[in-house]
Structure 1
């Protein structure tokens, strides 16, 4: 009986909220009339997109209310109102979602109030039955479920009126995907530009400077060779040292582009080498990655850099002593999880550029990256990189 009362109360609140929205829709009729008059004057065309946005907010509120009651989400499919005023007005008028919301608004004004009155009648009838007969629990158990059915009826009608057509849903999903790919492409371009600047800086400040110094020492050695062989020998020794340091710098730059260890040992071997040199006690677990065919080079490189950055962050900032790296072959691609037992908070407001760089690398391959790092730890960086094996 208690559950029946609680459900009836929830249903009553659902219907009361719907009735309140119906009254708001009555007031919205005045807004529509004002908008129509403003559009006729032409000067007031700018009011139309704002009115449509207000209508969308009302429909969105109803969608959320229905979802809370029924547990079934009602998707949205709207044409974005962007660009010039003319483009926004044209999009608002041509958007099927605008006319669908208007249809719902008119219908909801009627059935929202009707269902409210029906609910009030049921509550009054239930109270009257309780007052006349003594079978309180038995009688209420008959009347109260009907209120829940009224709320379910309101949700079903609203869902039918607000549900976009399949074509509109596909168009909205396509538009959302285009926006996502546009943002991903912008991130990839930014990451590529940053990588080129890093390589240029490393070459200019490292290898190029050492090669210039090497050339100067070789020239000085040639000039001093006949007059002072000992000084020439010392200059040549310095030149050899400069050449070795320049080679070291060049290897560092090459590793930043595509680590040679990936080519030599594969992803699992390269990750084990990272784990051995991280300064932490790192456990590497392989679930089928090493056994089967290798992933594309770009996917392996992205996975390697993600693991390297995650272990570097763990060693520098987490305070952890142990970490783990899981690599797994999935049907849809490569799956990586890096965990540490540190203090957490890695994805907070003060997160540095390391995580941003990781996200950009993953997004450039249309992958997914999630960071779960509550205060107090632990931290888990989970990445999925799509690829064809």
Structure 2
């Protein structure tokens, strides 16, 4: 009963603020009509953008209020009002789809905000009486007081539906997001190609050139100085082994073979074993090998692997941590990777620690990266990668 009373009180407070917001909407309607009339007579054209700015402020308060009750943020999308000439600003204020939705919300809020508040005030006495009898005599949970919470949830649902950006605005935002993601993916791809070219040029190619020179010298010395030729061939064999090692390093940078052989969880455990830290790996729902159930696409597994590799490398080099933990969590349509170390914290993407590359690699797969690294630690990176298993 006590919890029901508390929830009903919070619901009534929410509805009371909605009624107050309705009164402000009533005043805002007058301001918008005045601004529209002044704009029609040209002399007061500058009033319309400022009135629309005030309307946006009021709608933003409505979004925050709705999000506070429902726990779900309500995004907003507007065209800028501070660019161009006065007539361009007036045109933007009058044609912005966000303004049109705000106007519809304002008119509707004026009605349902007051109506639902009145209903809640009327419902309090009978709800208290019914639940007092119901709980006192029958020892059952309250049934009438939750009606007030339902009214508040209904008000929040109506506000959310009216305040959400229009489909065209959401589509435009998605297009911008995809354009930025594509640019990041192109930049990451270019950086990866340059890294592979540098590794091949500075490592493998140099070893192969040295190998070719030693084989040529050995051929010349074979007839006149067999011992020297044998030594040159031994050097050539060493150069061949170094070239092979360099090639393996390049291949691991493209797609680590351990992923194919052992699966993501096994590959991450191999990373943890060679990181120099005391690393705990927890895998939930991960296939250990290619024959043990469905796996994520190769690109998703590779991205998750490189996220863990970069995070553990940063922890070992920069954080001063002795311990770290890695969690792999598989859920329908999603792979979540969480890496945490107990180091000094203060990780910054602008310091060249590879975090920007991680963000670009993940964004190319439409994933998200959340980094929390306050000064003094700990550092926690959580990556979510959408995928089909």
**TM-score scaled to structure 2, two decimals?**
0.69
- The equivalent residue for 1:337 is 338
Could you say which structure has the larger radius of gyration? Answer: 1
For residues 308 and 232 of structure 1, the distance between their equivalents in structure 2, rounded to whole angstroms, comes to 43
Matches within 5 A, 1:176-215: 176-215=173-212
Kindly state the Cα deviation for residue 239 of structure 1 after the two structures are TM-superposed: 2.2
For residues 272 and 21 of structure 2, the distance between their equivalents in structure 1, rounded to whole angstroms, comes to 57
| SS at structure 1 position matched to 2:276 | coil
| Structure 1 residues 286 and 76, CA gap change in structure 2 (3 angstroms) | closer
Kindly state the Cα deviation for residue 58 of structure 1 after the two structures are TM-superposed: 3.0
How well do the aligned residues superpose, as a CA RMSD in angstroms?
A: 4.7
- The equivalent residue for 1:164 is 162
Q: Does the Cα contact within 8 Å between 1:220 and 1:235 map onto a contact in 2?
A: yes
Kindly state the Cα deviation for residue 203 of structure 1 after the two structures are TM-superposed: 1.0
| SS at structure 1 position matched to 2:162 | coil
For residues 323 and 190 of structure 2, the distance between their equivalents in structure 1, rounded to whole angstroms, comes to 35
| Structure 1 residues 91 and 13, CA gap change in structure 2 (3 angstroms) | closer
For residues 264 and 11 of structure 1, the distance between their equivalents in structure 2, rounded to whole angstroms, comes to 59
Q: Does the Cα contact within 8 Å between 1:103 and 1:161 map onto a contact in 2?
A: no
Which runs of no fewer than 5 residues in structure 1 stay unpaired?
Answer: 116-151
Greater mean deviation of Cα atoms: 322-331 or 225-234: 225-234
Kindly state the Cα deviation for residue 279 of structure 1 after the two structures are TM-superposed: 0.7
- The equivalent residue for 2:53 is 54
- The equivalent residue for 2:172 is 175
Q: Does the Cα contact within 8 Å between 2:52 and 2:99 map onto a contact in 1?
A: no
Greater mean deviation of Cα atoms: 314-323 or 21-30: 21-30
For residues 72 and 257 of structure 2, the distance between their equivalents in structure 1, rounded to whole angstroms, comes to 49
- The equivalent residue for 1:124 is none
- The equivalent residue for 1:385 is 385
For residues 17 and 88 of structure 2, the distance between their equivalents in structure 1, rounded to whole angstroms, comes to 40
Matches within 5 A, 1:4-153: 35-36=39-40, 51=50, 54-55=53-54, 57-63=56-62, 66-67=65-66, 75=74, 78=77, 80=79, 92-101=93-102
- The equivalent residue for 2:372 is 372
Q: Deviations over 1:270-304 (max 9, x none)?
A: 11111111111112222221253222111111111
For residues 366 and 228 of structure 1, the distance between their equivalents in structure 2, rounded to whole angstroms, comes to 63
| Structure 1 residues 293 and 89, CA gap change in structure 2 (3 angstroms) | same
Kindly state the Cα deviation for residue 202 of structure 1 after the two structures are TM-superposed: 0.9
**TM-score scaled to structure 1, two decimals?**
0.69
Say how many residue pairs are matched.
Answer: 344
Q: Does the Cα contact within 8 Å between 1:210 and 1:242 map onto a contact in 2?
A: yes
1:247 has 2:228 as partner: no
| Structure 1 residues 161 and 170, CA gap change in structure 2 (3 angstroms) | same
Which runs of no fewer than 5 residues in structure 2 stay unpaired?
Answer: 1-5, 115-150
